[in-house]
Amino acid sequence: MGRAKVTLDRDYTIGEVDDRLYGGFAEHLGRHIYEGIYEPDHPTADEDGFRRDVIDLVRGLRMSVIRYPGGNFVSGYDWEDGVGPRSARPRRLDLAWRVTETNQFGTDEFVRWCTRVGAEPMLAVNLGTRGPDAARDLVEYCNHPAGSALSELRRQNGSPAPHGVKLWCLGNEMDGPWQMGAKTADEYGRIACEAAKLMKWVDPSIELVACGSSGRGMSGFGAWEMTVLDHTFDHVEYLSIHTYLGNPEGDTAGYLAKPDEMDQFIEEVVACCDAVAAKRRSRKRIMLSFDEWNVWFHTDQQIPEPWAVAPAQLQDVYNVEDALCVGGMLISLLNHCDRVKIGCLAQIVNVIAPIMTQKGGPAWQQTIYHPFAQASCFGRGVALRALVDSDKYDCPVRQGVDSLRMAAVADPQTGEPALFCLNRDLTEPLEVEVTLRAFPKLRLLEHSVLCHEDLKAVNTAEAPQRVAPMAISGATVEEGTLRAALPPASWNVIRLARE
C-alpha cells in the first residue's frame, strides 16, 4: 500500500473559487445543438424545442456560465442569421466543420436555454471573417434596453428585456491556421483592441476575454500572449487558455500524469500576463479564462460526409481513465483559482461531452460527468493550500509523479472542507493521512469513490450507471487527523463536517 501525508490549514489559502470556474461550452458542432440541446420532435421537448431530459442533466452539473457559439464555428458566423422568424433564417455552409448550418437555433434561443439550465451566457464574437462593427452590433442587440434599431429588433423577436450578457470572448483561437480569418498576433491584437473599445462604448459593464494561444504547443506560445496583451491590456479582463488531454499512446500511468502539465501551462500564461503588467508598471492583473478544457482523442479524425446537417462528429465515448484524468484537470483549476476565474468544460452534449443523447431517445451521463458534477457541487468556497508528501512514480511523459493529486475547498459559511483526491497508482491503494491543522473538531460526512476494475468501462444508454460514484466506509477522523484508504486508480471526494 502506498502512502501520502497532507497538511491542511484553514488559514493557508490559495483564493476564492469563482462560481464561473464551473462552466461549459456549447458550439454549433456535430449533434451538440441539434439533437442535443434542441430537438423539437423529442418526447421531452418544451415549448421552445429544448430537450427537458438534457436540461435536467445539465442542471445536475450546476454550470454557472456557458460559452457560445464557438469555437471554430464563430470565426465564420453571421449572428444576424440566427435571429428572427425561423422560416426566414438562411441555411449556410459552415466551413469550420464542413457542414450545413440551418440557423434554427441562435442567440435568443441560447440565452433562453441558459435561463432554463441556470447558467450565465458567455458570447463569442466573430473576429475572423468580421470585425468590430458586427461585434458592437451584437452587444447592442443583446444588452441595450430599447430605443435603437437593434434593441427594437430584439424586442420584436420576442425578448423585450435585455439579455444582459456580461461575458464576451473576442474571437476564438485566432493564431490557429485552421481558423477562418486567422491572424498574426499584431493583426489580432489591433482588431481585438478596436472591437473591445466599441463593445464597451455600447455597454461599459461588460467583461472581455482576449484570445491567448490555441495551445501550449503552438510555435508562437508566449510571444503571442504578450503581443496581444500589449494591444489589449487596458481593455480586457481575461486572457483565454485552452487545452485537451488524451491517451493515444495507451499509457494509463502517463495519461493520469498529464494534468500536471496543465499546472505548468497556467503558471506560464500567468507569467506572460504579469510580465506585460510589469512592463507597464501596472497593478492590474489579467485573469485567465480556461474556456476550453477536456479529454479529447478518441474521435480526433472523425470526418462526416461534407455539408450534412448535424452529423455525428467528435462523439468521444469516455471510460474510467478519462474520468480520472478529468478529475485531475479539475484539481488543476482549483489549485490555481487565484488566477483562473472562468472555466468551460468543452463541450456539454454529444460532442466530447459529459452528456450523450439518442435522437428521439434517452440522454445519459458519461463517466466524465461525475467528477465535474461533484466538484461543481462541493468545490465552491475558498481553495486551501495543501502540502502533499506522496509516494511517486515515473512514466515516459514525466518523472517523479505524485501518486496523490489533491485539492481542498472550504465552505465559505461553515469552513467545512471538501477534499478532492486522485490516486494515480494503478495497482495499489493509497493510505492518506491528512493533518487538519487549525480546523475545529470535524467528523466524516462522506467518502465517495469513482473507480472500476476495468479502466476502459463506459456508460451507455443501456447501462447508464455502470460507472458512477459510490460511498465507501473505512475513513476516520480522530484527534484532528483524517485517515482514508483510496482505492487504486480512483477519484475520491471526502467531505467533512463540524462535530
The residues of the chain that CATH labels 2.60.40.1180 are 2-10+384-498
Give me the pLDDT at residue 478, please: 95
Q: Which residue has the cell 479582463?
A: 237
The torsion of the CA quartet 80, 81, 86, 87, rounded to 10 degrees, works out to 120
Cβ atoms of residues 411 and 424 within 8 Å: no
The residue from 27, 109, 173, 194 that is catalytic is: 173
Query: Can you give the pLDDT of all 499 residues of the chain as single tens digits?
Result: 899 999 999 999 999 999 999 999 999 999 999 999 999 999 999 999 999 999 999 999 999 999 999 999 999 999 999 999 999 999 999 999 999 999 999 999 999 999 999 999 999 999 999 999 999 999 999 999 999 999 999 999 999 999 999 999 999 999 999 999 999 999 999 999 999 999 999 999 999 999 999 999 999 999 999 999 999 999 999 999 999 999 999 999 999 999 999 999 999 999 999 999 999 999 999 999 999 999 999 986 667 789 999 999 999 999 999 999 999 999 999 999 999 999 999 999 999 999 999 999 999 999 999 999 999 999 999 999 999 999 999 999 899 999 999 999 999 889 999 999 999 999 999 999 999 999 989 999 999 999 999 999 999 999 999 999 999 999 999 999 999 999 999 999 999 999 8
Cis peptide before 474 (omega within 30 of 0): no
Cβ atoms of residues 130 and 81 within 8 Å: no
Provide CATH code, domain 18-378.
3.20.20.80
H helical segments located in 157-288: 185-202, 223-232, 252-257, 259-279
The residues of the chain that CATH labels 3.20.20.80 are 18-378
What three-state secondary structure class fits 163?
coil
Give me the pLDDT at residue 305, please: 87
Inter-axis angle of helices 259-279 and 320-335, nearest 10: 30
**303 is written with which cell numbers?**
470526418
Is 173 catalytic? The answer is yes
For 374-412, the DSSP string reads HHHHH--SEEE--EEEE-EEEETTEEEEESEEEEEEE-T
Cis peptide before 177 (omega within 30 of 0): no
Give me the pLDDT at residue 445, please: 97
The residue from 140, 194, 292, 416 that is catalytic is: 292
Domain 2-10+384-498 belongs in CATH node 3.90.1150.10: no
Q: Whose CA is closest to 442, among 465, 417, 471?
A: 417
**Distance of alpha carbon 330 from its chain centroid, rounded?**
9
Give me the pLDDT at residue 300, please: 67
Q: Whose CA is closest to 404, among 496, 492, 336?
A: 492
Give me the pLDDT at residue 264, please: 97
**Distance of alpha carbon 483 from its chain centroid, rounded?**
32
